[in-house]
Amino acid sequence: MKRIKPWAWGLLVIILVIGAMARFDRLEEKSLWSDEIATIATSMGNSIDPEAFALRGERFDPPHPVSASVYLSKATRSHGAGNWGQTAQVLKANVHPPLFFMLMNRWIHQFGLEPGTLRIPAALFGLLSVGLMFGLALKLADWDSENFLGHRREGFALLAAAFMAFSAYQVDHAQDARQYTLLIALALAACWLVVSLIQRQGQSVWRWGLLALLLAAGVYTQYFFGLFGVLVVVLLLVFGGRHKRIWVGSLASCCLVLLLLLPWLSVFREQLVFLKLAGHYTAGLWNPVQLPEKLWRIFCEFFLPENKAGKVVPLLVLLIGGVGSLWGWAQRQQTEAEAGQRNALRLSSVLVLILLWLLVLVGGQIGLDLLKDSHTATIRRYLLLASPAVYLLMAYVLCAVFRAFSSGRSRWIPLMVTGALMTLMLGDTWHYLYRDHTASDEFKQAARHIHQQGRSQDLVLMSKTGAMAVGLAFYLKPETRLWGIDVPTANTLSPGSETVKRLTAVLGQLPKSAGVWLVFSHTAPSTRSRLSQLLTDLGYQAGSELKVPGVRLTRWQKNARLSPDSKI
């Protein structure tokens, strides 16, 4: 790589400092949420999925109310630092590969379970991705040096790195104890190696070996990374397929990746059996939207997830960049015609790579979801690996704008557009960190409400267990009595059922002064209605209610005006 100019180093340091401040600021403030609870449990070698217990003929919830500390121990009990065999055993009834959880196993045993420390690995991988994006963009500019990027290599790289650093979308994932930022770091490093191998026409054995290791690590982190592996093969064959070494190296790398994945094959087979039996992981998620609208919404979300007015900025940049690119191409064609050269439509190699990246990742996700018929093609986390291509595309387009308006007064147009976009992104990140940062603290808010409005003898009754039960246990007092009621079918709460008999017996033993807190997921209205009717029939009356993202809870108190002998 060519020598980087001093001013570019200075700007890169500023970008990294701002990116680090955004990722590590208020890292401990948010409460843990369901997926982070699952990270803790899986990393420690524990399962908190009631359906996995049911398939083994066991029950996740105890047969009677227990203290919150008992539920907490279901996720946090240790099987020993580095006990990766136990983690693999748990993942047999799960949907994830093991690498991130194995890393977190050692991290948790070393640094504990405080939310701030738990999220540090994700924040570090997120910051590393900013530096990797800068390096990849420089590599791309040097690779395409005959095009206009060759004269704007530092600017192109700094723009791409700034988009990665300032995006609230990236900051959000970097403050989440999950594997997503690790995936992006692995993808950026793998893409850097691909471009390097294309430049060298495949002449580097250690680069082929490292590429295989990165691809295997990506699949061991999330199965969707396999689509990125498809992208790597496509790029190698499109740009270097005429070289025999590229073909041989690609084949050897694919074989090495498969060899590295063999130890996990037996567990993967059991995961497929579990998915076929359980089914809930492959169901449609969230609310499907028309595909074109959703794709554009996701594209904008990589830049401005909260700023609705600012979503027009990416569209303006693309339009201006498209016009500028056409103008530049026309000027080049005219120059070549005047010189007697052959006119030819040539797309930049960088632009082709970016478009292939988007096509394979987004198109592959759409294809997978059509096969599953789940309509989740544009869920933000499944498209996470497409976000670097979007940042590179925007940086490329802005460089084209700079080229088109490089003289006279019009040279201020690209500066104003770039400044507006960066300002909006930083403002959006500030809004996320200081306005909406704790808006989804459902477990912390619910526990605080129970502590403030309840009594020590109250029973907390949950209609959805697993991560919800453990999440509440993290923030409730250890002695608070919890009890989860798993409701897999509508018949579970039918009159005379075993579950209703157990509930009636437990509620009948409560002191008259004790209340019952019903905690529900917002997605379980029928269960809420049936349990509410059950409490009403037993002489309870609904009191205070709290609605927070994902959770709804109500306190029920014994109604003294009703007969204590009320029956269902």
Q: What is the pLDDT of residue 338?
A: 63
Q: What is the pLDDT of residue 219?
A: 96
Q: The tokens 């453990």 sit on which residue?
A: 470
Q: The tokens 């200075």 sit on which residue?
A: 10
Q: What is the pLDDT of residue 77?
A: 93
Query: Which range of residues forms the domain containing residue 484?
Result: 442-558
Amino acid (one-letter) located at 537: D
Q: Nearest to residue 290, comparing CAs of 386, 378, 390?
A: 378
Cβ 233 vs Cβ 192: under 8 Å = no
Handedness of CA 41, 42, 45, 51 (dihedral sign): positive
Would you mind telling me the total number of residues written for the chain in this entry? 568
Query: 3-class SS at 378?
Result: coil
Is residue 449 in a domain?
yes
Q: What is the pLDDT of residue 546?
A: 86
Is residue 470 in a domain?
yes
Longest dimension (CA), the chain: 102
DSSP code, position 177: S
Q: Nearest to residue 172, comparing CAs of 123, 212, 234?
A: 123
Exposure string of 395-423, with b = 16+ CB inside 10 Å and e = fewer, is bbbbbbbbbbbeeeeeeeebeebbeebee
Q: What is the pLDDT of residue 480?
A: 93
Integer-rounded Cα Rg, in Å, for the chain is 27
Q: How many Å separate Cα 541 from the centre of its chain?
A: 41
Sheet containing 66-67, strands listed edge to edge, beginning at the edge strand earlier in sequence: 66-67, 481-484, 459-462, 515-521, 551-558, 540-548
Cβ 475 vs Cβ 452: under 8 Å = no
Is residue 286 in a domain?
no
Using CA atoms, how far apart are residues 461 and 477, in angstroms rounded to an integer?
A: 15
Per-10-residue mean pLDDT of the chain, 568 residues long, equals 82 96 92 92 92 86 91 92 89 92 95 94 97 95 74 89 93 93 97 94 91 97 92 93 90 96 94 76 42 64 66 68 66 64 63 90 74 51 84 88 73 82 88 79 89 89 86 92 78 78 87 88 73 86 84 83 41
CATH of the domain at 530: 3.40.50
Q: The tokens 């912390």 sit on which residue?
A: 444
Is residue 407 in a domain?
no
> Which pair of structure tokens corresponds to residue 275?
């998915």
| Residue 226: other Cβ atoms inside 10 A | 16
Number of domains in the chain: 1
Residues whose CB is less than 8 angstroms from the CB of residue 227 and which lie 6 or more positions away in sequence, other chains included: 360, 361, 364, 365, 368, 385
Q: Nearest to residue 115, comparing CAs of 43, 186, 27, 4?
A: 27
In sequence order, what are the beta bridge partners of 520?
552
Is residue 219 in a domain?
no
Using CA atoms, how far apart are residues 307 and 399, in angstroms rounded to an integer?
A: 24
Q: Where do the H-state alpha helices sit in 25-98? A: 34-43, 50-55, 68-76, 84-91
Is residue 308 in a domain?
no
Query: 3-class SS at 551?
Result: strand
Using CA atoms, how far apart are residues 481 and 545, in angstroms rounded to an integer?
A: 19
> Which pair of structure tokens corresponds to residue 119?
């999220």
Using CA atoms, how far apart are residues 130 and 363, in angstroms rounded to an integer?
A: 25
Is residue 512 in a domain?
yes
Amino acid (one-letter) located at 230: V
| Residue 523: other Cβ atoms inside 10 A | 8
Q: The tokens 């047969």 sit on which residue?
A: 63
Reported as half-sphere exposure (CB side, CA atoms, 13 A), residue 505 has a value of 10
Is residue 170 in a domain?
no
Residues whose CB is less than 8 angstroms from the CB of residue 213 and which lie 6 or more positions away in sequence, other chains included: 260
Using CA atoms, how far apart are residues 217 and 326, in angstroms rounded to an integer?
A: 41
Exposure string of 65-74, with b = 16+ CB inside 10 Å and e = fewer, is bbbbeebbeb
Q: What is the pLDDT of residue 405?
A: 75
What is the pTM (predicted TM-score) of this model? 0.89
Q: The tokens 């496509």 sit on which residue?
A: 234
Amino acid (one-letter) located at 31: S
Using CA atoms, how far apart are residues 219 and 232, in angstroms rounded to an integer?
A: 13
Q: The tokens 């003929």 sit on which residue?
A: 57
DSSP code, position 557: E
